[in-house]
Structure formats: structure tokens, C-alpha cells
């Protein structure tokens, strides 16, 4: 059986619907992956995620390596059993920490030396080490160790980074075991189109179970992100899953699906929920505002989540202003369900060959249309 089964392609856009087959179950795409960095999507239980229609979640090899450690996770049955999440898990290789921990790391061609953000102790992650960690974690989908550069970044350095990412990808592939775990290659290249093309061609030529676009949503204008994403899907095989890493807003996701992307992840729904920002079919809602103090309306009358079916804006504002833990949970439930409803709706529209209409209706609503 093929790793990825393409089922539908919209006639008027590049939007696709398909199925990713993993050792822990199938994933229908397009899909959004809630981020569970430390084997937990903050404030939500596995049953909450199931109720939100999550199919796959994301964990992070770097953070899980620090605590509790991959050996402990392996001994306790791997991420799925360890966290009681019985569905697929994709693990980020730790490559993003090459970017986010720039002030406490040193990169060489062999790997990256880190200073732990927890206690300052020295860590070393190489491509081989990253894959070994992810194998022990029991990930359904592992990611190649890569270098994500900042924006702006000089051309000469990005070129070196693309070459390094390619060498690391080959080492990751050589380390991978034939045990059913999937391995995705990552395309880098910053905002430079020729380097993106070079990276895409090299990564695809090496051959992986799926392909990801990394290094976007790191400060570049939206139009540049969309242009590069559109360009990259022309180089990514039609019979493989396509993953846009770390993106993003509902607008970004709806746009990128139309450009041919299948998979997304971002901390935005849960992080914003903890800060009182909720996503709705009519745009963003800041629940802490005074105007919601007496409101008996749900957050979103088009949402079927537990929060919207049972609680008013007035009550949610009260919880948030009072510092109640329940506020974080109910807000996170709503935002997570909203994101998953968004991709579920996109998938259904693609199957009906009506993605353009779905996208237009989405933007019309959030921009204040009827």
C-alpha cells in the first residue's frame, strides 16, 4: 500500500484530499495537527482531542529528549501509550530549535551543540541522534533534522544551510529503521527562489515518505510565504503528503490548502486561547473585552464544540478575568475544534469540487460579509 493515497483534486485550485497511512492509523487530509510539544496538548486530554476530531498530533524530539527522555518514553510504550493518545503522532526533529535557540547553540556540519533552555547543560544533536530519539519515542511520522534560517538572512549563508540540510537529510535516511515509521524530508532555502528550487529537487531526488516546506512563517511577508509555497508544491510529488511546517493563521491555512498543501501545525490555537483570543467564523474575538461582560451568546453560533454548546461569552469572560484554569481549557477546546472544523470543511469542499466557493465564503465572513 502506498504511504499517501491521493483521492480528490479540486478542478479550479490545487487543493487536494487524500489519506496518509501510518502504523498508528490513517489520517485524512487536509489536516491540522494540534501541537503537543511535551506529549500533551496544553490543557486538553486525549478524549478532548478526539471530540475535536483531531486525527494526528505533534510532539517535539528536542523537548522530549530533555524530559522525560526518550528512553523513559520507550520503556513506557512509546508516545501513543505514554500519553494515552492512540492515534498517529508526528515528531519535529528538533531542527526548529536550531532556529529558536540561536543564542544558545553552535552549528557544525556534524550537528548542533545546544545549551539546555532548562538548566544550561550541554546537549548535542546530530541527524543520527535526532532519528534515534524519534525512533525511541515511537513516532508515526519522523522529521529529518534540518537547519531553519532566520529572515532576513544573507544569500551565502542560506546556500550553505541548504547544502547542510541536504547532507543531514541523507544521514537521517540512512539512520532510519525499516519498522514502519515514516520519515519526511524538509525543503529549506529561505526566501530565495533558486535555493528553494535546489533544495526541493535534492530532497525529492533523495526520496522520502513525505515532504515538508520548512523555514516559512518566520517573519517574511504573507505574500512571499504564499508565493514560495505555491512554487514548492510544483516540485513536491503528487503521490506524497505535503506539509507546511509551523503555519499558521486560519487565513494562511485556507490559502495554503488552495496551493496544494495537505498538513499543517501551529501553536496558535492553544497559545492564543490561553491569552483570551478566540477564533470564530466571523473573525477573532478577544473574550476579555468589557463588551462581553453581559453577553449570553456563544463564542461562535456556527461552532459545535463543547464550549460553544454550553457556555456564554459572559461566563467565559468571567473565568478568564478571574484567572480560572477552566478558562484555558474551554478556550483551547473551542480554538482547537475551530481549526479542525476548518480543515474538515475544506476536505469536504474538495471532494465536492467546490474549494473556491469554500475559500471565498470563509474570507467573506471573516472580513465582515454576510
Rounded Cα–Cα distance for residues 362 and 262 (Å): 18
Check whether residue 254 and residue 350 sit in a common domain: no
Lowest mean pLDDT among 174-178, 183-187, 216-220, 260-264: 216-220
Of 266, 294, 319, which residue sits at a domain end? 266
Of 233, 266, 299, which residue sits at a domain end? 266
Find the domain containing 217 and state its range.
4-266
Q: Residue 56 pLDDT > 70, yes or no?
A: yes
Confidence category of residue 346, pLDDT binned at 50, 70, 90: very high
Task: Mention every residue, 6+ apart, whose C-beta is less than 8 A from residue 33.
Answer: 54, 56, 57, 58, 90, 263, 264, 265
Q: Indicate which residue of 146, 209, 262, 265 is catalytic.
A: 265
Average pLDDT over residues 217-234: 96
Asked if 205 is an active-site residue, the reply is no
Check whether residue 181 and residue 304 sit in a common domain: no
Q: Residue 35 pLDDT > 50, yes or no?
A: yes
pLDDT per residue as tens digits for the range 100-157: 777 778 999 999 988 888 888 888 999 999 999 999 999 999 999 999 998 999 999 9
Check whether residue 78 and residue 157 sit in a common domain: yes
Which pLDDT score is estimated for 370?
Answer: 38
Check whether residue 168 and residue 313 sit in a common domain: no
Q: What is the CATH number of the domain that holds 148?
A: 3.20.20.105
Determine the 3-state secondary structure of 218 from DSSP.
coil
Backbone dihedral region of 77: left (phi > 0), alpha (psi from -120 to 50 degrees) or beta? left
Asked if 178 is an active-site residue, the reply is no
- pTM as predicted: 0.97
Q: Indicate which residue of 10, 92, 252, 300 is catalytic.
A: 92
pLDDT per residue as tens digits for the range 155-188: 999 999 999 999 999 999 999 999 999 999 999 9
* Structural domains counted in the chain: 2
Amino acid at each position: 500500500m502506498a504511504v499517501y493515497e491521493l483521492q480528490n483534486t479540486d478542478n479550479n485550485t490545487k487543493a487536494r484530499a487524500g489519506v496518509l497511512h501510518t502504523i498508528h492509523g490513517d489520517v485524512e487530509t487536509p489536516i491540522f495537527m494540534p501541537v503537543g510539544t511535551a506529549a500533551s496538548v496544553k490543557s486538553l486530554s486525549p478524549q478532548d482531542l478526539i471530540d475535536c476530531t483531531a486525527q494526528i498530533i505533534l510532539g517535539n524530539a528536542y523537548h522530549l529528549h530533555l524530559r522525560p527522555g526518550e528512553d523513559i518514553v520507550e520503556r513506557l510504550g512509546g508516545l501513543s501509550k505514554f500519553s494515552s493518545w492512540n492515534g498517529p503522532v508526528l515528531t519535529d526533529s528538533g531542527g526548529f530549535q536550531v532556529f529558536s535557540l540561536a543564542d544558545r547553540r553552535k552549528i557544525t556540519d556534524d550537528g548542533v551543540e545546544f545549551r539546555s533552555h532548562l538548566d544550561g547543560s550541554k546537549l548535542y544533536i546530530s541527524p543520527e541522534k535526532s532519528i534515534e530519539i524519534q525512533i525511541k519515542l515511537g513516532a508515526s511520522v519522523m522529521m529529518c533534522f534540518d537547519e531553519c534560517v532566520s529572515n532576513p538572512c544573507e544569500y551565502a549563508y542560506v546556500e550553505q544551510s541548504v547544502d547542510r540540510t541536504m547532507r543531514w537529510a541523507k544521514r537521517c535516511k540512512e539512520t532510519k529503521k525499516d519498522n514502519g515509521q515514516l520519515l519526511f524530508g524538509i525543503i529549506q532555502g529561505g526566501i530565495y527562489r533558486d535555493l528553494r528550487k535546489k533544495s526541493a529537487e535534492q530532497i525529492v531526488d533523495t526520496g522520502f515518505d513525505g515532504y515538508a516546506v520548512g523555514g516559512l512563517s518566520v517573519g517574511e511577508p504573507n505574500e512571499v510565504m504564499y508565493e514560495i509555497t505555491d512554487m514548492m508544491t510544483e516540485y513536491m510529488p503528487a503521490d506524497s503528503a505535503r506539509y507546511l511546517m509551523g503555519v499558521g493563521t486560519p487565513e494562511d491555512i485556507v490559502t495554503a490548502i488552495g496551493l496544494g498543501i495537505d498538513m499543517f501545525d501551529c501553536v496558535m490555537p492553544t497559545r492564543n486561547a490561553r491569552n483570551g483570543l478566540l477564533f470564530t467564523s466571523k473573525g477573532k474575538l478577544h473574550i476579555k473585552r468589557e463588551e462581553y461582560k453581559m453577553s449570553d451568546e456563544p463564542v461562535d453560533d456556527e461552532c459545535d464544540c463543547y464550549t460553544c454548546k454550553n457556555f456564554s461569552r459572559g461566563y467565559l469572560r468571567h473565568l478568564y478575568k478571574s484567572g480560572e484554569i477552566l478558562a484555558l481549557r474551554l478556550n483551547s477546546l473551542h480554538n482547537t475544534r475551530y481549526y479542525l472544523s476548518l480543515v474538515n470543511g475544506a476536505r469536504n469542499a474538495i471532494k465536492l469540487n467546490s474549494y473556491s466557493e469554500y475559500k471565498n465564503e470563509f474570507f467573506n465572513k471573516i472580513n465582515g460579509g454576510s
